[in-house]
Amino acid sequence: MPEGPAVSHVIPDELLRRFDVPGPRYTSYPTADRFVEAFTEQDYRLALGQRRAGSMALPLSLYVHIPFCESVCYYCACNKVITKHHSRGAEYLRHLSRELDLQIEHLGAGQSVSQLHLGGGTPTFLSDAELEDLMAMLRRHFALAPGGEYSIEVDPRTVSAERLRALHRLGFNRLSFGVQDFDPAVQKAVHRVQPAEQVFALVDAARQIGFESVNVDLIYGLPLQTPESFRRTLAQLQALRPDRVALYAYAHLPARFKPQRRIVAAELPGAADKLAMLSASLDILRAAGYVYVGMDHFALPDDALAVAKRQGRLHRNFQGYSTQPDCDLIALGVSAIGRVGATYSQNAKTLDEYVDLLDQGRLPIVRGLALTRDDVLRRAVIMSLMCQGELQFEAIDLGHLIDSRRYFANELRALEPFVDEGLVTLDEQGVQVTETGWYLVRAIAMVFDRHLQADQDRARFSRIL
């Protein structure tokens, strides 16, 4: 299994440019753009009932979406509601409670949960008392397992050390801070001003309080960023030394995401500068001792994510790379996406529709997908490549009762350019992603995406680097 590229290795710019194409992030397969409205609330209820009846159900994970933010970050592509009226939090919790009751009616109470993630929006928009109510609500219906991963996304502007202590008392053991960039000019350009000193103080407090892992998000490709300015941000990150780093490429899609229209396109760095930022980030983080987990995730060697990578236990879900086993995911809240058995489902994307469906006594499912046998097979292949960096023919053959080399004959031929460029090796045992190929694992996985190969219109996806 590849451990990621060595610090001294440099990918030629020409190679990066050639393979830097639009493509999915593969937090699921098939991807969410394939969901259909023909998948209804009734289909989801059926999936919940089948899980309840099954004696060999997958482990369970929970995701709760809190959509509210006090102010808009211009780069943001998340589902959010901008408001300063914190009274809206209490009303939203009442509807989350209704949704949860409807879910439990078909799922059954008391199931064990080993992973919980609160995302947004800004989960810390809710008050400490409201977060306490939410956690109590979840604990009434589920058994949160000891030693599980319980994480929350935190806007540093919305918390203090005292609030972090409150989160820890509620059972959260992992934090994710949205930083994006430490440069004040870049922060101003994206409407997210937060002094570096504030972030450093909060991370220090989190360590003293006893959080098991602290993640920091960075974005390269933002307006006014240069390779030199981003190196300064990376130097500050080295001093901060979070347990995990998520390094995302900014995708400027103003036609799809209205807040991005406020970004001055002329201030965005060019493609060459973006690649220089990525290259510097990979070198600096690896030199600082971080394990390159894959795609945009890095972790210190003793962090659970890096350990899972070494032991071949890495998985992906709608939040990215995960240490947890292959899980069913119960998703709560507006726009939330879940997975139960061989189905995906998504809640209503607007708050008004979400509330209206719940007020009618209905689960707010508006679209989803029931996977075919081919979908399940290709999901296994793509996740193996994305997480373990390999495809073992024998394992796929035994698990899905096929002959991989015949079933994927066209795909294996399509891998030949990747073999020629040293990105993968291909033999009788299977496909192995090389150290160089690990940079471009999304492009490799795309070869096995039947839906993508049938639809060459990829403009709806961000570029892979």
For residue 304, the number of C-alpha atoms closer than 13 Å in the C-beta half-sphere is 16
Check if the beta carbon of residue 362 is closer than 8 Å to that of residue 40: no
Distance CA 123, CA 67 (A): 8
63 is in an annotated binding site: yes
CB-based contacts of 392, cutoff 8 Å, min separation 6: 384, 429, 430
Of 267, 220, 222, 224, the closest CA to residue 245 belongs to 220
For 33-330, CATH number out of 1.10.3720.10, 1.10.150.80, 3.90.1150.10, 3.80.30.20 equals: 3.80.30.20
Distance CA 218, CA 237 (A): 9
78 is in an annotated binding site: no
Strand partners, 248: 219
pLDDT for 408: 97
pLDDT for 30: 94
69 is in an annotated binding site: yes
Check if the beta carbon of residue 439 is closer than 8 Å to that of residue 15: no
368 is in an annotated binding site: no
Distance (Å) of CA 240 to CA 70, 196, 201:
26, 10, 10
361 is in an annotated binding site: no
Distance CA 82, CA 369 (A): 30
180 is in an annotated binding site: yes
Mean pLDDT by 10 residues, the chain (465 residues): 42 71 85 95 95 78 96 92 94 98 94 94 96 98 94 95 98 96 97 96 98 96 97 97 95 90 95 87 92 89 92 85 86 96 96 97 98 96 93 96 96 95 95 88 93 67 64
pLDDT for 12: 67
192 is in an annotated binding site: yes
Helices (H), 210-289: 227-240, 271-287
Helical (H) or strand (E) element with 147: strand 142-154
204 is in an annotated binding site: no
Strand partners, 215: 176, 244
251 is in an annotated binding site: yes
Q: Which two tokens stand for residue 43?
A: 């289909």
Phi/psi-derived region of residue 294, left when phi > 0, alpha when psi is between -120 and 50, beta in every other case = left
Of 80, 5, 2, 51, the closest CA to residue 439 belongs to 5
Distance CA 341, CA 329 (A): 9
Task: Count CB atoms within 10 A of the CB of residue 72.
Answer: 15
166 is in an annotated binding site: no
73 is in an annotated binding site: yes
319 is in an annotated binding site: no
The residues spanned by each domain of the chain are: 1-30+373-465, 33-330
Helices (H), 179-270: 184-189, 196-209, 227-240
Q: Which amino acid is at 355?
A: V
Distance CA 330, CA 100 (A): 10
290 is in an annotated binding site: no
76 is in an annotated binding site: yes
CATH for 1-30+373-465 is 1.10.10.920
pLDDT for 367: 98
Distance CA 367, CA 34 (A): 10
pLDDT for 219: 96
The residue whose two tokens read 């990979």 is 282
pLDDT for 335: 96
337 is in an annotated binding site: yes
